[in-house]
């Protein structure tokens, strides 16, 4: 389990000020008992959350709740943040050495975590696609929170990574009619690859039994409310950081007896909480990535060393990037 001094020096991405990031060296201590040392191969930027972190828009009330596993520093900055890394185990328990694993770890080239905190990849899940595990976990938890009925009409407003994955999961339910709704017509191609319908907001199907909102915009939320059927549920997946959002609760909101419900991955959905742990849910999310169609969500990889210069462009909402893949040297 011994490693050289050279092997114990890692490079990590830190958000240092609004709109600024840098790579810092970090020396790892000797590997602790029960831990694994992972050499990162690929990672992913969680655009929605990390855009807010990069801009310093995490509200003070959420400083503690928004801490990611193994995050260092403190909000608003500097912080080492992120939660999607795939690599190979270099040291640790014998049965794990050489295995490809996913970890909810910030953007770092080499790191140590308890062995119980990694998920080994199945043979049919490649290391590139496995970076979607955290997003798939969020989508899976959202579907559990929504508890859609079979044969229902479902709309998902916002064709980002999480919205697309929710639509993909809902389309696996028997008899469902799922439509991905977005203002970007280019997302129609993505919807087709994932096996779901597509519509612009003004052409989206009405009277949906379930509407999931994931656009993180007030306009998207208004669209979601307008698509809901009588006594339908609107599941709110967006996180707005410190922004105040106008919600149109006049009109037919009360007369149609609509339910606006939040969903957040920090807790296992109540309907599954008695049987599912966080680790079991993450393991299931990794297993659900065994579908090559999901590669449509991945943007071509950028070199980890180029991230400080490329990050603002990646995080820009107009970039068109879905899941930005990171490749480590």
Determine how β-strand 9-17 pairs with β-strand 20-27. Answer: antiparallel
pLDDT of the residue at 7: 55
**Strand residues in 1-83 grouped as ranges (E):** 9-17, 20-27, 35-45, 72-73, 79-80
The pair of structure tokens assigned to 35 is 């831990």
pTM: 0.94
CATH of 9-134+276-327, one of 3.40.50.620, 1.10.220.110, 3.90.180.10, 3.40.50.300: 3.90.180.10
Q: Answer yes or no: CATH 3.40.50.720 is held by domain 148-262.
A: yes
What is the pLDDT at residue 1? 40
Residues carrying CATH 3.40.50.720, the chain:
148-262
Q: Which pLDDT score, from 0 to 100, does residue 320 have?
A: 87
Q: What is the mean pLDDT, run by run of 10 residues, along the chain of 329 residues? A: 58 97 97 97 94 94 93 96 97 97 98 98 98 98 92 94 97 95 97 98 97 96 97 95 90 94 95 96 98 98 97 90 96
The segment(s) of the chain belonging to CATH 3.90.180.10 are 9-134+276-327
Residue among 160, 210, 185, 171 nearest 44 (CA) = 160
Cα gap 27→35, rounded to integer Å: 16
Identify the CA nearest to 89 among candidates 53, 61, 51, 115: 115
Beta carbons of 20 and 79 less than 8 angstroms apart = no
């Amino acid at each position: 389990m011994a490693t050289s001094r050279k092997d114990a020096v890692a490079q990590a991405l830190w958000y240092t000020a609004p709109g600024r990031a840098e790579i810092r060296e970090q020396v790892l201590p000797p590997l602790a008992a029960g831990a694994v040392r992972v050499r990162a191969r690929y990672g992913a930027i969680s655009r929605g959350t990390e855009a807010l972190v990069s801009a310093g828009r995490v509200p003070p009330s959420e400083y503690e709740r928004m801490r990611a596993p193994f995050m260092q520093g403190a909000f608003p900055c500097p912080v080492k943040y992120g939660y999607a890394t795939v690599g190979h185990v270099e040291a640790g328990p014998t049965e794990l050495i050489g295995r490809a694993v996913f970890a909810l770890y910030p953007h770092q080239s080499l790191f140590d975590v308890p062995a119980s905190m990694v998920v080994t990849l199945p043979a049919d899940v490649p290391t590139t696609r496995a970076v979607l595990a955290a997003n798939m976990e969020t989508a899976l938890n959202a579907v559990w929170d929504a508890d859609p009925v079979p044969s229902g009409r479902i709309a998902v407003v916002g064709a980002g990574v999480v919205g697309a994955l929710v639509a993909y999961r809902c389309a696996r339910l028997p008899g469902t009619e799922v439509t991905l709704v977005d203002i970007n017509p280019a997302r129609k191609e993505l919807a087709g690859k994932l096996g779901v319908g597509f519509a612009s907001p003004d052409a989206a199907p009405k009277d949906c039994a379930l509407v999931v909102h994931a656009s993180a915009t007030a306009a998207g939320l208004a669209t979601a409310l307008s698509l809901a059927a009588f006594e339908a549920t609107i599941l709110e997946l967006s996180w707005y950081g410190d922004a105040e959002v106008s919600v149109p609760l006049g009109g037919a909101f009360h007369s149609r007896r609509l339910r606006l419900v939040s969903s957040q991955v920090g807790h296992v959905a109540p309907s599954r909480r008695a049987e599912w742990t966080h680790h079991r849910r993450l393991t299931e999310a990794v297993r659900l990535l065994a579908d090559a169609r999901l590669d449509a969500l991945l943007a071509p990889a950028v070199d980890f060393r180029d991230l400080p210069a490329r990050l603002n462009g990646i995080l820009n909402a107009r970039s068109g990037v879905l899941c930005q893949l990171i490749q480590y040297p």
